Amino acid sequence: MSQPTPRQSKAWISALGVLTVVLGAVLLIAFAAPLHSELRLPLFPQDEGLLLEYPALMLHGEVPSHSFESVYGVTNLWIIAAAFKLFGYTVTVERAVGIAYRFVIAASLFWLAWRHRGIIAAFVAGGICIVLFVGTLGVAAYAWIGALAFASLALVLIDVGLRKTMRRLPMALAGACFGISVGARIDMVLAIALVLMALIATRRECLKWLTIGLLVGLVPPLINVVQAGLLSVIRDQITQPIFVSGPARRLPLSTLTWEELLLASLCVAVAFATVAFGVVLVRRHPDNWDSVLLLVVGAFELGLLPQTFQRSDVGHLSQVACFVLPAAVLLPALPLSRLTAPRTVNWTPVIVGVVVLLLAEPFFGNVYWSEVGIGKAPRDPFSTQNEGRSVPVDSASDRADLELLLKQIDQRSHPGQRIFVGPSDLRTANYNDTSIYFLLPQLTPGSFYLEMNPGVANGTNSQLAADLRQDDLLLLSTRYDDMPDPDSATRYGPDAPNKVVATQFKEIATRGPWTLYERRS
């Protein structure tokens, strides 16, 4: 068989380069196309509201776990706070941080697949990741997405630092990214610990530089521990989220749709398959970096699985699937028979791509032809504005109701007074309109509990009633009083906060689900 001439080799390399550029451009267009619509979507009042209010408070000297409850790490909040400081206090700035996180995740998966499986596999991995993002996760800068972005970038840096010979700078940077990831979501520590164990077993020489970088990346949460106290941070970010409010947030598997169960099963199957292949290949070829990387990625995926079952709804499943399913392209091809050629075509990207596309219609909706996609012009957003800030809301009626109440609050208050936003039945702690605090920058949040977590804000040891006795205004909503609670034991807490409202406050106005109260003279 004749060898290719130098001219033929150059032509092939050139054609491959053109193909890489074209497919990369297609993915960039697919990633960017829905952003205009998704930037205009209504926010989740508590989940995204805390991403707006907490960084703003921190820039004014407030400390998470000391001044207010925060179940997530401080690193993501500081990143958003830095963006606010540079570009202004807007929802668009916060969501721009979230877009950057998503781009890093997709780009990291593209890089790993391209380096180890070729451009077609990279294109499939990037496409699957984008499909899982669009219409399910939005573009908010959630702590988990930030943690996943930095951990994904760390895996890329490890790939760069260990491909041929160990290089110190990439490994130190990878460690720093791991530290930032843990600082954003402390439950990411399991996935990172498994990665470090895999590297210790196969490439122990990199441990020193990973550790140095890890310590640098952990500086923000260590500062938070010093400011708020170790016990307070453990209480807010570990004990209460995992053992108190966590069970009340979980959804029984019996309540999930078959599509959700299938997606969860795929994540579990791919993670365990990646680990199994990694172990086998490392034993056979311990010096082969492709084998080691497969084991490292599998260990990381295994550590992500608890997030799958924390609350197995669309959003939480997608937060794991957006990495695990695209990374399935790294799996080696299985020979279909003994006659199969050793260098067989890898069929894994095709299978994963088909499965996700089949799920796209019933599970994720019409991805690019829905309101969040290319086919239709986005609707006019309904934004509630006050004090130079605005947040997108669900409807024109919500905008009108909130703006009228916010005007009354401005008329009846002066800077520095305390306001509490919460549910009308304060025995419950299902959810909250935390984003309203962001629209009242002149006032002081009137409780340690700016978000409502079952078993915590309405727990037996809650300080909510004591906080209310010091407040000047209350804005309570009936919207979340009847939300289903998987754990009936945490549905209702003490009635003391309701008694404080009844005896020390008077009703001023009601608009829609919200009622404004003012302290009695």
The predicted structure's pLDDT at residue 358: 53
Does the pLDDT at position 344 exceed 90? no
Residue-wise DSSP of 46-75: TTTHHHHHHHHHHTTT--BTTTB--SS-HH
Buried b (16+ CB within 10 A) or exposed e, 12-35: eeeeeeeeeeebbeebeebbebbb
Residue 206 φ then ψ, to 5°: -85, -5
Dihedral (CA of 499, 505, 510, 514) sign: negative
**Mean pLDDT computed over 168-173:** 96
- Average pLDDT on 249-276 reads 83
What does the block give as tokens for 379? 């609707």
pLDDT in tens, 477-506: 999 887 766 566 667 899 999 999 999 999
**Helix, strand or coil, per DSSP, at residue 195:** helix
Report the pLDDT averaged over residues 167-185. 96
Please report, to the nearest 10 degrees, the dihedral formed by the alpha carbons of residues 33, 34, 40, 43 taken in order. Answer: -150
pTM for the model stands at 0.92
CB atoms < 10 A from the CB of 440, how many? Answer: 22
**Among 297, 92, 286, residue whose Cα is nearest residue 204:** 286
The pLDDT value recorded for residue 372 is 44
Work out whether the CA dihedral 102, 176, 186, 193 comes out positive or negative.
positive
Return the domain boundaries, the chain.
Answer: 33-360, 385-519
pLDDT band at 371; cut points 50, 70, 90 = very low
pLDDT in tens, 372-408: 444 444 456 789 999 999 999 989 999 999 999 999 9
Region 461-486 average pLDDT: 90
pLDDT on residue 5:
61
Q: What percent of the chain has pLDDT over 70?
A: 86
Residue found by looking up tokens 């997608």 in the block: 318
> Residue 442 has which token pair?
């002149």
Least Cα distance to 331 among 357, 355, 350, 309 occurs for 350
Distance CA 282, CA 268 (A): 21
Among candidate residues 124, 107, 113, 180, the one with its CA nearest the CA of residue 147: 180
